[in-house]
Amino acid sequence: MVEHGYTGHIDPTHQGHYVSHPETHPIHIDRVDAHQILDSRGYPTVAVTMHLGDGSTVDASAPAGASTGAYEAAELRDDGPSYSGRSVHRAVSSVTDEISPLLAQGHWSSIRQVDDAIRALDGTDNLARLGANATVAVSIAATRAFAHYAELPLHTWIAHVTDSVERMPVPHFNVLNGGAHAANPLEFQEFMVAPVGAATEEAAVEAGAEIYHALAARVKAKFHTAGLGDEGGFAPDIASPEEAMELLITAIQDAGYTPSLDDVAIAIDPAANGFYERDGQYKIAGTLLSRDQLVDYYVRLLDQFPLRSIEDGFAEDDHHGWKLMFDAVGNRTQLVGDDLYVTDMHRIADGAKNRYSNAALIKPNQIGTVTGTLDAIETAKRLGMQSMVSHRSGETLDTFIADLVVGTGVGQIKSGAPARGERIAKYNRLTQIEAGTARIPYGLLPTTARATDAVAP
């Protein structure tokens, strides 16, 4: 048995630090190989193979974003002629020339020990020297190594070390794309359907796929196109969020489901950095909106549609906007910080303290290590916030986030449309986990805890 090693606690004034006990099964790493592969958009990313002392190997690869937050851990790219500067040979060398010799020095007793050593080797605050694309791939591979040595499925190992109850998540299928992920004029980046009323992961995936196919028929009939955005959702020539949501409502009904907060709900990621102008003004469908007008606009959408979650409704530095929004609707809907928090426990704690939002998006490559990711989830939990685990717009076939969301039991994931191999790899992994256990409950965590009730610092 693996000891319940992850017993950190946070002081929301940021003065505290986690205490973590070593897990019981140390791993032995012989070396880490790395090479450049392509992500789902045809851009280079880092893949690693970790060779372990018992002769086995574990693999991992790094995802990459398009609408990246300014405060994310830094990817290392070559900035040369190859792939318009996007090749990652320097990050590959970080793994083979520096991280591999470091990790090959012996036994490692916890993922925190591995990640701390990599951070110390890097020496910067944001992993800019080695590259977060290098470190996240190594960290995920090392996590797989710990699960392997403990002879546990990855999700179960994560549940043990984080002292969590495993839970199958509600998948949020991004079926209509705009913003930085599509060529249409739609400012909002993601329109998702969330089968909150499904009884199982398998039923949720079926609902998502059926709605996606119903939407395909509607989009083809109305727009004479089936063009897709980066995450596999359709990207027709829609200009307004209302039109996008009407289309979703129709597709949900066409597929035989009920658009409601209890059956199939809608979630959006406006990714507001993309349409923030300046001085607290946002531009949607050609109209400039003040912060107050944008809040009113979201309220109208909430009144009109079964909208359960709004991510990055305001820009990453517009704390004033986030506060206004939270005061207006924080008690009736989920408000998720993505670029706002960048999976950073300190930024999340700050968000709870200042009441910016009641949920955090969780993307391992934003913080660059698995330990940083688990710290972010733990911090959100302790401060009464929800979490949603997320893919990136540039993905690989790595399914780590599926095990992460089950193992931490946070209850929600977004991994794009139920189409395209790199997206469905995660959904398929979820149904595979469910089939293997069939005892892990499905669904959202009770939303008793909101940042309004958060631990007051």
Q: Give yes or no for residue 271 binding ligand 2PG (CB under 6 A).
A: yes
Maximum Cα–Cα distance across the chain: 62
196 binds, among ligand 2PG, Mg ion, none (CB under 5 to 8 A by kind): none
Which of the ranges 37-45, 65-73, 103-111, 293-301 carries the binding residues for ligand 2PG, by CB under 6 A?
65-73
Q: Give yes or no for residue 66 binding ligand 2PG (CB under 6 A).
A: yes
Which of the ranges 60-68, 94-102, 279-287, 369-377 carries the binding residues for ligand 2PG, by CB under 6 A?
60-68
CB of 76 to ligand 2PG, least distance (A): 17
Q: How far apart are CA 272 and CA 284, in angstroms?
A: 10
Cβ–Cβ < 8 Å for 294, 314: yes
Q: Is the dihedral of CA 413, 133, 96, 106 positive or negative?
A: negative
CB of 396 to ligand 2PG, least distance (A): 13
Q: Name residues contacting Mg ion, limited to 290-329 (CB under 5 A).
A: 312
**Which CB, 100 or 396, lies closer to ligand 2PG?**
396
Instruction: Lay out the site mask for ligand 2PG across 325-354 (x = CB under 6 A, - = otherwise).
Output: -------------x----------------
Provide CB contacts within 8 A for 278, sequence distance 6+: none
Residue in the structure block whose two tokens are 């109209």: 287
344 binds, among Mg ion, ligand 2PG, none (CB under 5 to 8 A by kind): none
Q: Is the dihedral of CA 323, 330, 380, 306 positive or negative?
A: negative
The site that binds Mg ion (CB under 5 A) totals a number of residues, namely 4
Percent of the chain as helix, strand, coil, to the nearest 5: 40, 20, 40
Catalytic member of 75, 201, 363, 414: 363
Q: Give yes or no for residue 338 binding Mg ion (CB under 5 A).
A: yes
Instruction: For residue 363, indicate whether it is catalytic.
Output: yes
Q: How far apart are CA 112 and CA 115, in angstroms?
A: 5
Best CA proximity match to 268, nearest among 306, 295, 236: 306
Return the structure tokens found at 169: 């998540």
| 3-state class (DSSP) for residue 28 | strand
Please state the φ and ψ torsions of residue 359, each to the nearest 5 degrees: -155, 155
CB of 390 to Mg ion, least distance (A): 7
Provide CB contacts within 8 A for 294, sequence distance 6+: 282, 284, 313, 314, 321, 325
CB of 269 to ligand 2PG, least distance (A): 5
Q: Give yes or no for residue 417 binding ligand 2PG (CB under 6 A).
A: no
Which of the ranges 24-32, 335-343, 363-371, 407-415 carries the binding residues for Mg ion, by CB under 5 A?
335-343
The site that binds ligand 2PG (CB under 6 A) totals a number of residues, namely 12
How many C-beta atoms lie closer than 10 Å to residue 165's C-beta? Answer: 12
Catalytic member of 75, 231, 316, 378: 231
Instruction: Lay out the site mask for ligand 2PG across 360-399 (x = CB under 6 A, - = otherwise).
Output: ------------------------------x-xx------
How many C-beta atoms lie closer than 10 Å to residue 19's C-beta? Answer: 9
Strand stretches in 81-189, DSSP E:
107-108, 170-177
Query: Which spans of this chain sit near ligand 2PG (rule: CB under 6 A)?
Result: 65-68, 190, 231, 269, 271, 338, 390, 392-393
Active site (catalytic) residues: 231, 363
**Can you give the binding site for Mg ion, defined by CB under 5 A?**
269, 271, 312, 338
